Structure 1
């Protein structure tokens, strides 16, 4: 089992990254937030979970052991595969997932694209007792300047399938609705908020 990788980032895209570990290029899939922190040519460490199928072995990368732990619990739920697990962690922090599971907050899970009310109910039912809040602070990371986060967030949103027009419109609305987040939030914070807003809007239509 490969639990972490440390090496030079060879490539970083919207869904994957390649990390050179002693001459071996290791491909990992991850959330946009995790990938946004990887810089090509720089050394990095990602915590990993290997999912083995009959026809494949896939590494999933995470910024922290806590994120990996929540992912592994999520994919133990019936109907939640690695892609959905990553989608949940793209919208919510590990602690937010723990809180939602502990409080049976199905609405939190329906904010994730592709998860409806029935799926959310099944998730909170199966997560009962498996994930409990740790008391970790939420959204306490240092802020990134606008010239850094805006292009990264736009690129991540368009890479996830949203049009550039919709992405820009969402960020504009987010700036009005949550000015404190825009002023002090990190790239992951802002991206998560945008994904929540866009997923809710898609269901409303």
Structure 2
């Protein structure tokens, strides 16, 4: 297994880089997060992950081991391929991915292009325990955001009723800051009064 590649940066694009390592050019697919972390120096070291398929050998590069670990967790979920995982890490930071999973923030994961409600729920269901264990997060810290599921349910109900997501989210955030323990029904009723 190739764990990292270090060499001279030959080419740098938002989706991939080419690193010359002793005369061999390696093409590594990267996320926008990694792209933003790459310095404009000639020497570069990226942590790598190799995916071998029948028709291709594809290298993925990451600016940190943490990002690579999140990527590996994401691709372990049924229905999430390497390109979807890379899109997720391009849309939000690895830290935000980790927190969204731990806090069961379906809305944030679903806001990523190509991720539907079912996939977002599956990501959380499959990875929450692993994320809590691997990153030693406390379940109690996480339960503070448990009302996110109430917010998500209220938000989807308001969307079904024809209200815009952004406006509804703003109203719900305000309501939750005033009464954090509000249930879904209360949230919807109060939001309807304000929308």
Deviates more, 1:103-112 or 1:28-37: 28-37
Q: Can you list the C-alpha shifts for 1:125-177, whole angstroms capped at 9, x where unaligned?
A: 11131113467xxxxxxxxxxxxxxxxxxxxxxxxxxxxxxxxxxxxxxxxxx
* Long gaps (5+) in structure 2: 138-195
Report what 2:98 is aligned to: 98
Deviation of 1:102 (Å) = 1.5
Deviation of 1:122 (Å) = 1.2
Indicate if the aligned counterparts of 1:31 and 1:86 stay in contact, CA closer than 8 A. Answer: yes
User: What is the aligned residue count?
Assistant: 135
Q: CA RMSD in A?
A: 1.7
Deviation of 1:38 (Å) = 3.6
Distance 1:50 1:87, change over 3 A: same
Report what 1:71 is aligned to: 71
Deviation of 1:39 (Å) = 5.7
Are 2:78 and 1:82 equivalent residues in the alignment?
no
* Long gaps (5+) in structure 1: 136-205
Deviation of 1:35 (Å) = 2.2
Deviation of 1:36 (Å) = 3.7
Deviation of 1:37 (Å) = 3.9
SS in 1 for 2:129: coil
Report what 1:22 is aligned to: 22
Indicate if the aligned counterparts of 1:12 and 1:40 stay in contact, CA closer than 8 A. Answer: no
Deviation of 1:51 (Å) = 0.8
Report what 2:57 is aligned to: 57
C-alpha distance in 2 between matches for 1:103 and 1:33? 21
Report what 1:128 is aligned to: 128
Runs of 4+ in 1 over 3 A off after TM superposition: 36-41
C-alpha distance in 1 between matches for 2:37 and 2:94? 17
Indicate if the aligned counterparts of 1:95 and 1:134 stay in contact, CA closer than 8 A. Answer: no
Normalising to structure 1: TM-score of the pair?
0.62
SS in 2 for 1:130: helix
Deviation of 1:20 (Å) = 0.4
Which of the pair has more CA radius of gyration? Answer: 2
Normalising to structure 2: TM-score of the pair?
0.65
Report what 2:110 is aligned to: 110
C-alpha distance in 2 between matches for 1:33 and 1:18? 17
